[in-house]
Amino acid sequence: MQRTSRYALMIASLGLLAAPPVSAFDGIVEKQRFRLENFTTQGGETIPQVDVGWESYGELNDARDNVILITHFFSGTSHAAGRYSDEDALPGYWDAIIGPGKALDTDRFYIIASDTLVNLNAHDPNVVTTGPATLNPETGEPWGMDFPVVGIRDFVEVQRALLESQGIESLYAVMGASMGALQAIEWASVYPERVERLIPVIGSGATDPWLLATLGTWAAPIRLDERWNEGDYYDAEPPLAGLKEALKLVTLNANHWRWANRTFDRAWADETRDPAQELDARYAIEQALDELAAARAEVADANHLLYLVRANQSFIAGGGDTYQEGLARIEAPTLMLYSERDLVFSSEGVRRTAQLIREAGNEVTLEPLRGDRGHLDGVLAIEQASDTLRAFLE
Amino acid sequence: MQRTSRYALMIASLGLLAAPPVSAFDGIVEKQRFRLENFTTQGGETIPQVDVGWESYGELNDARDNVILITHFFSGTSHAAGRYSDEDALPGYWDAIIGPGKALDTDRFYIIASDTLVNLNAHDPNVVTTGPATLNPETGEPWGMDFPVVGIRDFVEVQRALLESQGIESLYAVMGASMGALQAIEWASVYPERVERLIPVIGSGATDPWLLATLGTWAAPIRLDERWNEGDYYDAEPPLAGLKEALKLVTLNANHWRWANRTFDRAWADETRDPAQELDARYAIEQALDELAAARAEVADANHLLYLVRANQSFIAGGGDTYQEGLARIEAPTLMLYSERDLVFSSEGVRRTAQLIREAGNEVTLEPLRGDRGHLDGVLAIEQASDTLRAFLE
C-alpha cells in the first residue's frame, strides 16, 4: 500500500474510474488452474487430462513481450512471490527479488510461475499438479505407478501450453533454481527462438553421476517403507516414515556443513535423555530435521517424490546423447548464479556448463552466491544477486 | 621375500637355527583373539565377556617402547596391513604405510590394531567383536538391543586392556582414520602420560552437528526395514535391504563429487532399460553403489551399524562438556592429516581442533591430503603422507 498514492486510492474508492494500479502487483496472489487435454509425454504416453496450478505477478503488456517465466525447484511450487492473504506468515520463495521495484520488477514484467507435473507437494491446497496421486479419469482411481515416467522436457511442454493459452510466444527471460534451472536451460535449448534471456540458478546442463547417485538415495527410504506397497497406497496409510526420511536427506544434501555447524550445537533433543545412554534418544539437530521433514511430508506425496527423482536424474540439456549438443543450441545471453559450496550441483559442473554455452558463441555471466547454506543459497540468499539480475534484465 | 637374504633363507630352510627374521614383518598376519571378563562401560553397564580380534606387524622390543596403536574407522577392522595368506587379493587398508622400510616401519615398530566393540563387520570370519550380534553368555541368545550403548572411550578401554595384557604401558604413537582418529584423540586426552605421539587422520575433536545429522541418516534405512524388528532379527531374515541402503549412504558421504564424476558417466545399469522410460531402471553408478553395498552387507550387522552411529555421534574428546577441555589435556606432539574436500569431518572442524590443541601449548602439524575422494583419501591415499609420517616418527 505504501506504493499507492493517496490520489489513486481516492479515485479507486470513489469507483469513478477503473483505477490503473500504481503497482501492477500488490503482493496478493491467487492460484490459477490450467487444464490441458490429451498431453503426450516425450516417452510417447498420453495423459488424458493435465491440470497444473500457476500464479502471476505484474501485468502482461499488449505486445506480450514482458514475460518472465519462473520454474520451480524439486520441493518447490509455483508460489515464487507474494502472499495468498495478508495472514500468510511467509511469502513465495523468491519474494526478495520479485515485486514492484525489485530486481524482477513487477511494475515492468509479467512474471508467471506454474506447478510442474508430479509436483512433490501434491496435497498442498495451494498446489495443482498431475501425477501418481491424481485420479486417472479413465479408471476413477489414482494413477499410482501407472502414471507415465516424465522428464524436465515434459514440464517445459506443459509450461509452453500454459503460455500459449495466454497468447505468449516468447519469453523476455526464463529463470529457475535447481530443478528450475534444468527447466530454464531446457527451454533455452529446445526453443532458442522463444527465449531472450536465460538465468539458471544453482543448476547445470546435465545431472552428473554424483547427483544421479544422491537422488537415488532420496528415493530409497520410500521404497524401504512397507506402506509404500509398490506405490499402491492411496486406499491405505501412506508411507510417511519413508517419505520423512527422504525429505530429511533432501534438506541435508541441499545444505552445507557450515550451516549445520553455525545453527546447531551438540544439544540433546530431550535434556532428560542422553543419547550416549539411550539408543532411541536423539540430538537436537536430528529432531529439528525430523520435525521439518514431518511438516513437509504432510503435504507431499511419496510417489511424486520418486517421479521427481527420476525427472531430475534423466535430465540432459536438449535430450540428446551429450549435453554439449543441447547447450550449443542455446542462443540466449545467459546469467548463471551458483554456490561454490553446492553439494547437489557441483561448482565444477556449473562452470563446465557455462564454458560449453560460451564455446557455442554465447555471452555467459557466471556469478557465485555467498552464504553458508550451499545449494540452498540459490533460494534463500538470492537477494544478494539483485543488482546483477537488474543489470542483466536491462 | 625380496628383503630376506639368501643366507638367512638357507639357514631357515635347514632348520639349524631359529632364523632371526631380517624383517620383523613379512606381510603375513594372523588374527588373534583377546578376551576380557566383566568389562564395565562408561555408562556403568557390565558386559560379562568381551572378545575382540587383533593383529600386529613387527616385533615388540624388550623395553616395550616401540608400540604404535592403529585404531580403525567406522566400517574398518583391525586389518590395517599385510595379508592373511598369499592368495588374498588385497592387503590391510593402510598397507601402503605399514611394513618393512615403510613410513610406519615394521623393522622398528611393533604395530598393533584391534577390532572395536560393535564392529560393523560382525560376520566377517576375520573379525572378532562383541556387540548386539554376539551371544550374551547369561542368556545364550544374541544381545540384540539389550547390549549397552557404548562409546569411543569404551573402545579405548578395551584397547588399553589388550595392551596391558602384553605388558605395554605406553604408546610411541597412536594413529587412526575417521572414527580411528576419534579413538586416537581420546587416548591422548584421557591418558596423556601414555601417548607420546598423536596422529588423527580425517577426524576431529568432537562430532559436529553436521555429522550428528549425517550419521543419523545412516541409521534411518535400517529402522525403516520391517525386518529390523526393533533389533530382534537374529532368529529370522536380517534387515539386509535397510542395511544396504545405510552402507550406500556411508560410501557416498565418505566420497566426494569429484570422485563420482571422474569415475562414472551417465550410463544406464542395463543398456536395454532406459531409466527415463522405466521407474525401476537404474543408472550404472547406482548399480555400482548397490553392488558394493550388497557385498559389504553380507558380513555386516545392522544393529552394530546403529551402535556405531551412536558411538560416533556421542564423541566429544575427553568426555566432558566441551571438547576444549578434552583437547587441552593432550600432551603429545600431534600430526593431523585431513582433506579439504572431506564431507564427513569438515576441514573447518579439523582446523579448529588443531588450533585448540595448539592453544593448550602443544606442537601440531596440520597437513592436507590431496585427492578426489574427500574423506576417503585419508584411507585410500595415505601413501602421499609417508615422508611426513616418517619425519614425525623420528
**pLDDT at B4 > cutoff 70:** no
Enclosing domain of residue B24: 18-207+315-393
Determine, yes or no, domain membership for B64.
yes
Residue B43 CB neighbour total at 10 angstroms: 16
C-alpha cell at position B355: 588450533
According to DSSP, residue A302 is labeled H
List chain A residues with CB under 8 Å of B208: 257, 260-261, 266
Return the pLDDT at B1.
Answer: 33
Residues 6 or more apart whose CB falls under 8 angstroms from that of A272 comprise none
CATH code assigned at B108: 3.40.50.1820
Residue B388 belongs to some domain of the structure: yes
% of chain B residues with pLDDT over 90: 93
User: What single-letter amino acid sits at B223?
Assistant: R
Listed residue (A50, A58, A57, A56) closest to A34, CA to CA: A50
B11 part of a folded domain? no
CA distance B393 to B379: 19
Q: Do A261 and B208 touch (CB under 8 A)?
A: yes
Q: Are residues A114 and A219 in the same domain?
A: no
- Closest-CA residue of A relative to B228 is A224
On whether residue B8 sits in a domain, the answer given is no
pLDDT (tens place) for every residue of chain A, 394 residues total: 333 344 444 444 444 444 445 687 999 999 999 999 999 999 999 999 999 999 999 999 999 999 999 999 999 999 999 999 999 999 999 999 999 999 999 999 999 999 999 999 999 999 999 999 999 999 999 999 999 999 999 999 999 999 999 999 999 999 999 999 999 999 999 999 999 999 999 999 999 999 999 999 999 999 999 999 999 999 999 999 999 999 999 999 999 999 999 999 999 999 999 999 999 999 999 999 999 999 999 999 999 999 999 999 999 999 988 999 999 999 999 999 999 999 999 999 999 999 999 999 999 999 999 999 999 999 999 999 999 999 999 9
On chain B, the residues whose CB falls within 8 A of the CB of A241 are 224
> Is the domain of B233 the same as that of B248?
yes
Q: B246 CA to chain A: closest CA distance, Å?
A: 9
Q: Reduce the DSSP state of residue A158 to 3 states and report it.
A: helix
Q: Identify the active-site residue in B342, B372, B377, B387.
A: B342
A298 & A324 share domain: no
Residues A226 and A200 in one domain: no
- Percent of chain B at pLDDT exceeding 70: 94
Query: Are A182 and A239 contained in the same domain?
Result: no
Over residues B311-343, the pLDDT tens digits come to 999 999 999 889 999 999 999 999 999 999 999
pLDDT tens digits for B99-139? 999 999 999 999 999 999 999 999 999 999 999 999 999 99
**Per-residue pLDDT tens digits for B179-205:** 999 999 999 999 999 999 999 999 999
B359-368: pLDDT as tens digits: 999 999 999 9
| Mean pLDDT taken over chain B | 94
Do residues A66 and A108 touch, judged by C-beta distance below 8 A?
yes
Same domain, A64 and A175: yes
φ, ψ of residue B57 to 5 degrees: the values are -135, 125
Residue that is written with C-alpha cell 534463500 in the block: A380
In a domain, A4, yes or no: no
Q: Which residues contact A386 (CB under 8 A, 6 or more apart)?
A: A96, A97, A102, A103
Give the span between the Cα atoms of A151 and A314, in whole angstroms.
Answer: 7
What's the pLDDT band for B3 if we cut at 50, 70, 90?
very low
Residues A191 and A330 in one domain: yes
Spatial contact of A168 and A343, defined as CB atoms under 8 Å apart: no
d(CA B89, CA B92): 10
Q: Which of A307, A330, A359 is the last residue of a domain?
A: A307
Choosing from A124, A154, A342, A372, the catalytic residue is A342
Number of domains chain B is built from:
2
Domain final position from B256, B279, B308? B308
CB distance B297 to B243 below 8 Å? yes
Regarding whether A293 and A235 lie in a shared domain, the answer is yes
Domain match, B236 and B371 both: no
Give the Cα separation of A24 and A7 in Å (integer). 16
Measured between CB atoms, which of B145, B263, B275 is closest to A279?
B145
This complex has an ipTM of 0.93
* Residue found by looking up cell 543398456 in the block: B271
pLDDT of residue B13: 44
Residue with cell 515416467: A149
pLDDT at position A24: 78
A165 shares its domain with A94 = yes
Same domain? For B298 and B322 the reply is no
Q: How many CB pairs under 8 A join A and B?
A: 152
CA distance B394 to B390: 6
Which residues in chain A touch residue B277, judged by CB atoms under 8 angstroms apart? 43, 149
**Among the partner residues A214, A283, A316, nearest to B266 by beta-carbon distance:** A316
Best residue in A277, A278, A282, A344 for a mutation probing chain B (most B CBs within 10 Å): A277
Residue A1 covered by a domain: no
Contacts of B199 (CB under 8 A, 6+ apart): B173, B174, B175, B176, B184, B334, B335, B336, B337, B389, B392
Q: Of B209, B258, B275, which is closest to A314 when you measure between CB atoms?
A: B275
* HSE-up of residue A175 (Cα within 13 Å, Cβ side): 27
Q: Which of A42, A278, A286 sits opposite B216 (nearest CB)?
A: A286
Cβ–Cβ of A283/B216 closer than 8 Å? yes
Please report whether residue A120 resides in a domain: yes
Q: What is the CATH number of the domain that holds B220?
A: 1.10.1740.110
| Rounded-to-integer distance, Cα B175 and Cα B103, Å | 12
Taking CB atoms and an 8 Å cutoff, what residues of chain A touch B353?
none
B contacts of A306 (beta carbons < 8 Å): 279
Residue A381 inside a domain? The answer is yes
Active-site annotation holds for B342: yes
- pLDDT at position A321, please? 86
Q: Can you tell me the distance from the alpha carbon of A387 to that of A373, in angstroms, rounded to the nearest whole number? A: 21
The pLDDT of residue B81 is above 80: yes
**Which residue in B338, B342, B341, B373 sits closest to B353, CA to CA?**
B338
Helix (H) or strand (E) holding A262: helix A257-263
Indicate the residue among A255, A288, A307 that finishes a domain.
A307
**Same domain flag for A201 and A279:** no
